[in-house]
Amino acid sequence: MLPSESSTKKPRISGQTLAENNILFYSKVHDPHKLRRWVQPIRQLLIRRRTKIPCNIRYKLKHELENFHDLDENEYKIMTNTESFDSSVDRWDLQPNDEDFETAPPLMNLFGRADTVNLVVLKELKSCFDISQKFVKLRGDQAHEREWQNVLQEHIFTTYQNEDGGSDSFKESNMQLRWERHQETHWTEFKQSSPSGFRDGKSTLTYPVPDFTYGFPIIDTTDPIYTPYLTQRLTENFSLPTLHKLREAGVLSSPRKTLAQWNSSKPTRDQMRSLDLMCFPWAVVEVKSAAVDVSTERMCYCQAANASAAALSLREKLLLASKKNEPNPEALVIFSFTCVGTHVKLWLTYRPTKKKVVMRCIWATSLEISWGVFVLRMVLKNMHEWVNREVRPELSRWIEGARGCPKPRFFLSPDGDLVEQNKRAASQEPPSKPPTDSPVLRKSYSSQKDAAQYSQQTSRIIRSGAPSPTFSNFQSAFRGRVETNGVGCDNDDGRNDSGKDEEASEDSPDEGYYSSPKKNTKKKATPTLLCKHKHDISCKCGKKGCLIIDNEDLANGLSSLSLSDRKR
């Protein structure tokens, strides 16, 4: 019998604790034009309208919004943090724009009936109105958090369902579109007592327990349904044996430590539950009942920031192990939803600089109006398509690169430091088995040269979305990135010529969320550190032209590299 979770109580975490670990969040809806340039297309794809709205319901939606303002004016002011009722100013998505409506009445077909697409949209909007009334009732009844969760998972944050119809729900087209969604999953790999030591002594960070976690499925190859697809690269890379071997090498994919305990000689169903067969979370959802004070809302944001930063660290460590030179920066973004009563916010979590992880609000709506329900469902559909099209193939590419690699000597901590993996006693953790038999594994990393070369390769991973510069042109490439300025274009260090943070110029971390803010000073970049150690008398490798990088140089090199706006 599989063990149950020891407790369903969620660990608490404060904004100050997050800030001490260089995890910050910005609660106001950010001006889309001031987002980093490589982030803007992601936001645009997420909020794009999938269909036109029938023009004959324009006034009904407007009337619904006016009633919402009249009934709850005070709460509306609080949730938008402004006294204006203009959603375009507040940046909350509370009503359709003019371009969202059809430009003409619906076409009539040969039978004199309205266009089918138009009828489908009308039916969907009617359903969304009924759902919005359920949320209005929950707030009026002062329902508990569990009741909010139940309605949200029934109508909004649903599980994967086969949309193609038919009896074969596991056919190839569906298998590559599937996602996992689980409720109150304990991310046990991030416990301080976990043998992985993933957060490396960051005892102030609690382990996440999101109300809902979205992730990619881990494929159990012992299931006969997957037999026709075992030779496919995507299936193999996300398979249970592959990810288990990577876990043995110190590369985590699942937020739960059950993956490390899997035994291939025993039936999987006796060892793992469905929530254990989920890897690389791509979205987290935190839910709170209608807030009676600000602290409830803040706790929701803190928990989402903690979980999304942890999910980001899983991908960053995989990227370090993969040694890929041209990572797609879009795969280094985690989505978060916070639901405080009827108020829903969408956030992006990413690392703008080496020393900082930010969770930034990019969109918000209210579930008290039918348009809010309608557009939130649309955002989720867009998100599902985007992660399958952009993120899943890129992670598969990174997994391929990491397969066969020895356990990394260094990994990226939550605050951006390269931390050397400490050796554990044999009594605490059994020695790791080689992930797979490959020429890479048979190489020796015992010499100082090999270790330095591995560190050099990992340092070239956390970099911009542009093609990785070689050592010969690194200085000129880096100089070009630093000198690129202008409206809508963020530098790697997030500053413009005047020294003002372009993203932070829109807002700043909410007051009281962190203490003792450090003075943000711009340090002079020293990219030459990465290439100053040419072969000399101090090198013992005996090979001409080798590059030696010590730990200090490696850290300095990483501090000068981050995601940029250059095209891949």
**Between residues 500 and 23, which one has the greater pLDDT?**
23
Check: CB of residue 430 under 8 Å from CB of residue 289. no
> In sequence order, which residues have a C-beta less than 8 Å from that of residue 458 and are 6 or more positions away?
320, 323, 408, 410, 418, 554
The mean pLDDT of 487-506, rounded to a whole number, is: 40
Q: Give the pLDDT confidence of 249-305 residue by residue, as tens digits.
A: 889 999 998 888 888 778 877 778 888 899 999 999 999 998 667 888 999 999 999
* Cβ 309 vs Cβ 356: under 8 Å: no
* Closest residue by Cα to residue 565 from 471, 472, 457, 493: 493
Q: How far is CA 491 from CA 360, 478, 521, in A?
A: 17, 11, 15
Query: In this structure, is the dihedral angle defined by the CA atoms of residues 308, 435, 406 and 394, taken in order, positive or negative?
Result: negative
pLDDT beyond 70 at 76: no
pLDDT at residue 457, as a whole number: 39
Give me the pLDDT at residue 526, please.
Answer: 39
Which residue is listed with tokens 């490439």? Answer: 477
Q: How far apart are CA 306 and CA 24, in angstroms?
A: 10
Q: Which two tokens stand for residue 285?
A: 């959802």
Q: What are phi and psi of 7, to 5 degrees?
A: -160, 145
Contact 349, 357 (CB under 8 A): yes
- Looking at per-residue pLDDT, the higher value among 137 and 435 belongs to 137
The pLDDT of residue 243 is 93
3-state secondary structure of 223: coil
**Cβ contacts of 555 within 8 Å, gap of 6 or more:** 417, 418
State the pLDDT at residue 199: 61
Q: Give the span between the Cα atoms of 273 and 220, in whole angstroms.
A: 11
CA–CA distance, 501 with 506 (Å, rounded to integer): 9
Report how far residue 279's alpha carbon sits from residue 217's, in angstroms, rounded to the nearest whole number: 6
The type of residue at 345 is: K
* CA 400 from centroid of its chain's CA atoms: 21
Distance of CA 281 to the CA centre of its chain: 7
Most confident option among 298-307, 474-483, 506-515: 298-307
How, if at all, do strands 212-217 and 278-288 pair? antiparallel
Token reading at 283: 């979205």
What pLDDT band is residue 493 in, cutting at 50, 70 and 90? very low
pLDDT per position as a tens digit, 342-367: 999 999 999 998 889 999 999 999 99
For residue 324, what pLDDT band results from cuts at 50, 70 and 90?
confident
Q: Count the neighbouring beta carbons within 10 Å of the beta carbon of residue 328.
A: 16
Q: Write the pLDDT tens digit of every residue in 106-130.
A: 555 444 455 555 788 888 999 999 9
Work out the percent of the chain whose per-residue pLDDT is above 70. Answer: 58
The pLDDT confidence band at residue 519, using thresholds 50, 70 and 90, is very low
DSSP for 265-296, written as a single string: TS-GGGT--GGGSEEEEEEEEEEEPSPSSHHH
pLDDT grade for 175, boundaries at 50, 70 and 90? low
Quote the tokens at residue 524.
């002079």
Cβ contact 465:564 at 8 Å: yes
Q: Is the pLDDT of residue 373 over 50?
A: yes
Rounded average pLDDT over 444-458 = 36
Q: What is the pLDDT of residue 6?
A: 45
Residue 135 CB-density burial (10 A; 0-12 exposed, 13-18 middle, 19+ buried): buried
Residue 385 scores a pLDDT above 80: yes
Confidence band (pLDDT; 50, 70, 90) for 47?
very high
> Do residues 364 and 396 make contact, with C-beta atoms less than 8 angstroms apart?
no
Six-digit token string for 25: 């969040």
When pLDDT is cut at 50, 70 and 90, the band that residue 55 belongs to is confident
Phi, psi of 317, deg, nearest 5: -70, -35
Predicted confidence at residue 326, as pLDDT, reads 79
What's the confidence (pLDDT) of residue 301? 96
Gyration radius from the chain CA atoms: 25
- HEC profile of 26-69: ECCCCCHHHCCCCCHHHHHHHHCCCCCECHHHHHHHHHHHHHHH
Residue 361 near residue 345, CB atoms below 8 Å:
yes
Query: Which tokens in the block code for residue 302?
Result: 């803190």
User: Alpha-carbon distance 132 to 403, whole Å?
Assistant: 47
Q: Look up residue 518 and give its two tokens.
A: 């450090």
Tokens 């609690």 map to which residue? 206
Q: What contacts 277, CB < 8 A, 6 or more positions away?
A: 180, 217, 218, 220, 240
User: How much of the chain, in percent, has pLDDT values that exceed 90?
Assistant: 35
The closest alpha carbon to 151, from 162, 164, 135, belongs to 135
Torsion of CA 9, 11, 15, 21, to 10 degrees: -160
Please, are residues 190 and 208 in contact by the beta-carbon 8 Å criterion?
Answer: yes
Cα–Cα dist 161/165, whole Å: 9
Place of tokens 């077909």: 109
Neighbours of 549 (CB within 10 A): 22
Which stretch of 190-194, 401-405, 523-527 has the lowest confidence by average pLDDT? 523-527
Q: What is residue 551's predicted lDDT score, i.e. its pLDDT?
A: 35
DSSP state of 419: E
Distance from C-alpha of 23 to C-alpha of 353, rounded to nearest angstrom? 11
- For the ranges 49-58, 174-183, 389-398, the maximum mean pLDDT occurs at 389-398
The answer, yes or no, to whether residue 564 has pLDDT greater than 70, is no
pLDDT(195) > 70: no
Interval 469-497 mean pLDDT: 33
pLDDT at res. 108:
53
pLDDT for 415: 53
pLDDT band at 232 (very low <50, low <70, confident <90, very high): confident
pLDDT, greater one: 216 or 414: 216
**Cα–Cα distance between 68 and 70 in angstroms, integer?**
6
pTM attached to this predicted model: 0.71
Amino acid making up residue 78: I
Tell me which amino acid residue 138 is: L
Which of 183-187, 237-241, 324-328 has the weakest average pLDDT?
A: 324-328
Whole-number pLDDT of residue 532: 35
Cβ burial of 34 (10 Å; 0-12, 13-18, 19+) is middle
pLDDT in tens, 534-547: 333 333 444 433 32
Number of C-beta neighbours around residue 134 at 10 A: 14
The pLDDT value given to residue 200: 58
Closest among 131, 143, 158, 189 to 369, alpha carbons compared: 131
